[in-house]
Amino acid sequence: MKVLIVDDAPHVLEVLKDLLEAYGHEIYDATNGEDAIRKYKEISPNAVLMDVLMPRLDGINTTRRILDYDPHANIIIITAVGRRGLEQECINAGAKSFIAKPFKTKDLIKSIESMS
């Protein structure tokens, strides 16, 4: 399964990449929303793990733009931001799932594999 990880924190990208590769997934990454949109169009991933707070284009607007391009995109928001109403805002933007950091590995894997 091809998974695009979108996060501006290099250590988060590395941890998620190592974790998902261990489960046999093909991993791509992007460090901002603009890069994520470009890579999404190039690789057509099965799932996208999207951070919310990023430079240039945040995760909610990136989600909307990817879904404008591909209404069937499987986007999972994964964030440490605990702002009230954020989960509903992400779901309203079109995200299929919302996972708060810190997360349990089994919950993340289950969410990703449900997208296939």
Cα separation, 116 vs 111, whole angstroms: 10
pLDDT of residue 41: 98
Task: Report percent pLDDT > 70 for the chain.
Answer: 100
Position 27 in a domain: yes
Position 116 in a domain: no
Our measurement of the distance from residue 9's CA atom to the centroid of its chain's CA atoms, rounded to an integer in Å, reads: 13
Cα separation, 42 vs 104, whole angstroms: 30
pLDDT of residue 80: 82
Cα separation, 56 vs 33, whole angstroms: 7
pLDDT tens digits, residue range 58-95?
Answer: 999 999 999 999 999 999 999 887 778 888 999 999 99
Task: Indicate the number of domains in the chain.
Answer: 1
Q: Which amino acid is at 103?
A: F
Q: Which CATH number covers residue 62?
A: 3.40.50.2300
Position 85 in a domain: yes
pLDDT of residue 56: 85
Q: Tell if the pTM clears 0.75, that is, is over it.
A: yes
Position 89 in a domain: yes
Position 73 in a domain: yes
Position 25 in a domain: yes
Burial class (CB in 10 A: 0-12, 13-18, 19+), 12: middle
Query: Whole domain around residue 94: which residue ranges?
Result: 2-109
Number of neighbouring beta carbons within 10 Å of residue 11: 8
pLDDT tens digits, residue range 17-64?
Answer: 999 999 999 999 999 999 999 999 999 999 999 999 998 899 999 999
